[in-house]
Amino acid sequence: MTKLHTLLITGCLIGFSAAASAETVNLTNSADGVNRDAGITAVKKKLQDACTERNGSPDAASFEVVFEKTSDSPNVPKPYYVDGKMKCTVPG
């Protein structure tokens, strides 16, 4: 009976530790900028802010540009459009 109790307690502890661990999620967002660098900086800032709003910690090294487009119209004040994604570790 002692081995059975030990096995049950160990199983419960493993189950609880998995529930208490953090989860990594991918966040995506987009931004405009006056040039490519400004667009990338703006989308990084949006992703980092979204992660910290969820009480998470952003992984800046995981940032990736998914899509970018430049408008040919000279009347557009921010002609560079950038989509990006970043990993965020949030509490489980």
Enumerate the domain spans of the chain. 22-90
What is the CATH code of the structural domain delimited by 22-90?
3.30.1660
Residue-level pLDDT at 91: 87
Residue 19: predicted pLDDT? 46
pLDDT for the residue 86: 97
Q: Is residue 14 a contact partner of residue 83, using CB atoms and an 8 Å limit?
A: no
Tell me the pLDDT tens digit for each residue of 21-45.
678 899 999 999 999 999 999 999 9
> 82: closest CA among 51, 50, 48, 37?
37
User: Tell me, what's the pLDDT at 79?
Assistant: 94
